[in-house]
Structure 1
Amino acid sequence: MADLFPETVPDGASTCSMPRADAPLADRLRPGSLDEIVGQEHLTGPDGAIGRMVAAGRLSSMILWGPPGTGKTSTARLLADAVGMRFVAISAVFSGVADLKKVFAEADKAAEAGQRTLLFVDEIHRFNRAQQDGFLPFVERGTVTLVGATTENPSFELNAALLSRAQVLILRRLDADALGRLLARAESLEGPLPLTADAREALIASADGDGRFLLNQAETLYAADIAQPLSPTELGQFLQRRVAVYDKDREGHYNLISAWHKSLRGSDPDAALYYLARMLVAGEEPLFVLRRLVRAAVEDIGLADPQALVQCLAAKDTYDFLGSPEGELAIVQACLYCATAPKSNAVYKAQKAAWRSAKETGSLMPPAHILNAPTKLMKDAGYGKGYAYDHDAAEGFSGADYWPEELGRQTYYDPPDRGFEREVRKRLDYWARLRAERPAG
């Protein structure tokens, strides 16, 4: 379900009271229970993290990470209702230390009365590091169960100490099916939208996964009292927003993206250019296309041609500088460069393998000789002892063993013998030969 109902209620418990008759459509369609949330069944279903917590009747602190309009606020509110907790919501944009102190004091009083508090913090990444640390003692002793919402990567925006005390749950961008179900609810309440079938699909595609935006657009259409159903082109003109045009086969937004990406990967520049044109002419956001190009450059080309990534980022800068339509030529250039570049997914496979190994091996200690030793105690413990400075070795290569003893040497990156990676392969083979010829440092 879309994140339809942001709350800034610093001192009150949640209720599921009916919205006013004149409330916005999104407010009138807010879900009444977790099973009414669409698009997040991987979390709210019986086997999902949230579903299991609700079944057990006890919540742990969590961070809800996802794009706008995917149900973060609604999920938090309904979580509190599902387990009988007091719901308090604040926004990090409008709240400061004084507000937090007041919330925690009230939560302490509620706890004395036997009432648990779920504290929902919207845009939690907006709090600075010191403010984030302020949550820790209250979370640890159970004064509040913290549910934070963020559109930003928690790994970069939230303190490690806070992350260690909360699960990170990822909410998915609403797909066409979820958005369609959301729109059907609106139509059951307000009646059929004044749109042709193609225009209805175009409206869903234009929402870009944001349920709140979709319902706001639908409300605009209802308010206009349109006599005849609009076509995709008429819809785009009416909403003053470029809307994807769908052909008679109703090829969707994601089908075109998939076809384009696979054409790039398959080194068919003409097909890639055709699907690029289809998307841009239909009104796809150029920056979205550029993000997908960058992804293709690192996933499907990688070090076979490192310039592919440079070309894509340069195209993004050029488009930012020129805008449409002139800047679209830079997107075309980057598209053709990627389509004609040698292909390799060796970097992509190496990342997957290394990430899997890191998860499986836990916190293995690096070998002592490459540990930093800033103190006498660490030096006495053998940190840094025997480290071979590669620049002092012949060929600038010591051949030292840098792997945890319990793990041993692994091979994640295996470049193919094509493109620039042919040269990388020669370097790796050369170092492997030197390593075999000399004892490890």
Structure 2
Amino acid sequence: MADLFDAGAAESPAASRPLADRLRPDKLADVIGQDQVLGPESPLGIMLASGSLSSLIFWGPPGVGKTTIARLLADETDLHFVQISAIFTGVPELRKVFEAAKIRRQNGKGTLLFVDEIHRFNKAQQDGFLPHMEDGTILLVGATTENPSFELNAAVLSRAQVLMLKRLDLKDLALLAQRAEQELGRALPLDGPARDALLEMADGDGRALLNLIEQVAAWDAPTKLSTDDLTKRLMKRAAKYDKSGDEHYNLISALHKSVRGSDPDAALYWFARMLTGGEDPRYLARRITRMAVEDIGLADPQAQAVCLQSWETYERLGSPEGELALAQALVYLALAPKSNGAYVGYKAAIAAAKKTGSEPPPAHILNAPTSLMKEQGFGAGYAYDHDAEDGFSGQNYFPDGMKRGVYYTPVDRGFERELKKRVDYFAGLRAKRAKN
């Protein structure tokens, strides 16, 4: 081991192969960073220990080991490994795969069919796997970067277990970098901060890290490079963000919940993540305004106005200056008192309206512009509230025979604390009128 990092160490003939291929693990125990699915008490660990492996869907970001794990599962279960990509495979090719698997099965050999980007297959193509999964012709292992709940047929999901693989953290990436240096036979020409920066550039993608390491290892650097030297020579990997995919919905969920949780710093972070990923600021302006309506509500009626003003400011200023107005609205919402009282009341009223159907209003609050309507009792007995002693008649405004509904319950926060006093005040007057 003395010459492990010797820059003059001889390279093996395998050195011409890509580093990611040379470092592919030979057994599941060597896979980095997926203990939640590979550990002894994990789903796969228990399946392998019991000798009963079912069809699987690996869901996770790129470069975390989906293909490698599938290949190693085939090795450990003595199944023939077949790999296809949904991007390049059509129905004729699938038929050939299934026919070969049937012949293999007749000869006593099972097939693990690994389908990369399985979500790219349409419904009919996905349905084509079902009979071959059910009769044991293939054991399906699919890989997807998209949410299987939305992208895969329910029939496929019911016959397979979904396992979620996580992006590699910095500790995982550091271990992978050490293995790469051992394979290369030399240390990377980076100082400590530059090494950390390299790991950050990979953004949780092990394959991306190994590609970066190959570039760095090829440099003729007489001394260790600093972070500035590194960033001048390498472009930072673009953050993963798909404006129409999972990341879009994950990040807007994180942004919304950060505001609801009164954390302005987290809200600004997710806001910035979406903007740097290329999100349309107008979409964010609309969602921020929705937050004011849904989560702040009448606890701070000014919140909606702040959002609309910031949206208008963005339209007048444009990018990038206009985003600051949206950021200010976001901070305002995060620090505002929260209430979903009106939102909950609205949904409850909608539910009641659907349940009661076509119940008419009580006759005493109906207008009677014609004599016939007056003869039918329309408007009879209506009490004009302004004529009441305290401007409140206490009459019933719900349909006759319908139990009075209570939908709006204000919280004891912000301006809604004042509204709560008013609700309680009128409830007291209504009860008093009912006794008289």
Question: TM-score, structure 2 length as denominator?
Answer: 0.63
1:304 pairs with 2:298: no
Q: CA deviation at 1:234?
A: 2.0
Residue 160 (structure 1) aligns with = 154
Task: Name the count of aligned residue pairs.
Answer: 335
* Residue equivalent to 2:172: 178
Matched position secondary structure for 1:168: strand
| Partner-residue secondary structure (3-state), 1:21 | helix
**What CA distance in whole angstroms lies between the structure 2 residues aligned with 1:343 and 1:414?**
16
Alignment deviations for residues 21-63 of structure 1 (CA, whole Å, 9 cap, x no partner): 3111111111111111111100000011111111122210011
**Within-5 A mapping of 1:367-386:** none
Report deviation, 1:90.
0.3
In the alignment, residue 225 of structure 1 is paired with which amino acid?
Answer: D
Q: 1:15 matched to which residue of 2? A: none
Q: Is the 8 A contact 1:116 1:144 kept in 2?
A: yes
Aligned position for 1:25 = 19
Instruction: Report how far residue 188 of structure 1 moved.
Output: 1.8
CA distance in 1, matches of 2:234, 2:147: 32
* Code of the aligned partner of 1:74: T
Correspondences of 1:91-106 after superposition (within 5 Å): 91-106=85-100
Cα drift, residue 339 of structure 1: 2.1
1:330 deviation in Å? 4.4
Give the letter for the 1:205 counterpart. Answer: E
2:229 and 2:129 mapped to 1: Cα distance? 50
Q: Which residue of 2 aligns with 1:407?
A: none
In the alignment, which residue of structure 2 is the partner of 1:139? 133
**Take 2:326 and 2:153, find their aligned partners in 1: how far apart are those partners?**
37
Alignment partner, residue 221 of structure 2: 226
C-alpha distance in 2, partners of 1:220/1:284?
29
The 5 Å alignment of 1:309-328 reads 326-327=319-320
Q: Match of 1:60?
A: 54
**Residue aligned with 2:277, SS:** helix
Name the structure 1 match of 2:276.
286
How far the C-alpha of 1:154 sits from its partner, in A, is 0.7
Q: Residue 197 in 1 paired to residue 188 in 2?
A: no
Distance 1:100 1:267, change over 3 A: closer
- Secondary structure of 1:148's match? strand
Residues 219 and 272 from structure 1, CA distance in 2 versus in 1: closer, same or farther, beyond 3 angstroms? same
Indicate the residue corresponding to 2:332 in structure 1: 340
Q: Within the alignment, does 1:41 sit opposite 2:35 as a pair?
A: yes
1:173 deviation in Å?
1.2
Aligned-residue offset at 1:193: 1.3
User: Could you tell me how far apart the structure 2 residues matched to 1:24 and 1:400 are?
Assistant: 75
Q: 1:117 deviation in Å?
A: 0.6
How big is the shift at 1:75?
0.9
Any runs of at least 4 consecutive aligned residues in structure 1 with deviations exceeding 6 A, and if so which? Answer: 260-266, 288-291, 296-302, 395-401, 419-426
* CA displacement at 1:129 relative to structure 2: 0.5
5+ unaligned residues in a row in structure 1: which ranges? 1-17, 245-259, 351-369, 371-386, 402-410, 430-441
Percent sequence identity over aligned pairs: 46
Contact 1:264 1:335 in 2 (8 A): no
Deviations along 1:221-257, one digit per CA (max 9) or x if unpaired, are: 111222222222221111133799xxxxxxxxxxxxx
1:187 maps to which residue?
A: 181
Question: In 1, distance between residues paired with 2:81 and 2:189?
Answer: 39
Q: 1:262 to 1:180 in 2, by over 3 A?
A: farther
CA deviations 1:105-142 (Å, max 9, x no partner) are 11111111111110000000111110000000000111
Q: Contact 1:304–1:418 at 8 Å: present in 2 too?
A: no
- SS of 2:225 mapped into structure 1: coil
1:118 match: 112
Match of 1:380 in 2: none
- Report the counterpart of residue 405 of structure 1 in structure 2: none
CA distance in 2, matches of 1:108, 1:243: 43
Partner amino acid, structure 1, of 2:327: C
Contact 1:25 1:216 in 2 (8 A): yes
Quick one: distance in 2 between partners of 1:111 and 1:184? 41
Query: Alpha-carbon deviations, 1:248-274, whole Å to 9, x = none?
Result: xxxxxxxxxxxx9999788686x679x
The question of whether the paired residues in 2 share the 8 Å contact of 1:233 and 1:243 is answered with: no
Contact kept in structure 2, 1:416 and 1:422, CA below 8 Å: yes
Match of 1:208 among 194, 203, 212: 203
Per the TM alignment, residue 201 of structure 1 is displaced from its structure 2 partner at its CA by 1.1
Structure 1 residues 114 and 268: CA distance shift in structure 2, 3 A: closer
1:312-334 alpha-carbon deviations (Å, 9 max, x no partner): 9x99xx89x97xxx53x444433
- Structure 1 residues 61, 393: closer, same or farther in 2, change over 3 A? farther
Corresponding residue of 1:240: 235
Tell me, yes or no, if the aligned pair for 1:72 and 1:149 is still in contact at 8 Å: yes
TM-score by length of 1: 0.63
Structure 2 unmatched ranges of 5 or more: 1-11, 240-254, 298-302, 345-350, 362-396, 425-436
Aligned to 1:374: none
The offset of 1:336, in angstroms, is 2.8
Instruction: Flag the structure with larger Rg.
Output: 2
| Maintained 8 Å contact 1:64/1:169 | yes
Q: Determine helix, strand or coil for the equivalent of 1:186.
A: helix
CA distance in 2, matches of 1:40, 1:415: 46
CA apart distance, 1:337: 2.1
Q: Following TM superposition, by how much is the alpha carbon of 1:392 offset from its aligned partner in structure 2, in angstroms?
A: 4.0
161-170 or 49-58, larger mean C-alpha shift: 49-58
Distance in 1, matches of 2:398 and 2:133, equals: 51
After the TM superposition, which of the residue ranges 184-193 and 159-168 deviates more from structure 2?
184-193
Q: Does the Cα contact within 8 Å between 1:34 and 1:78 map onto a contact in 2?
A: yes
Amino acid of the structure 2 residue aligned with 1:305: I
Task: Give, in angstroms, the shift of residue 166 of structure 1.
Answer: 0.7
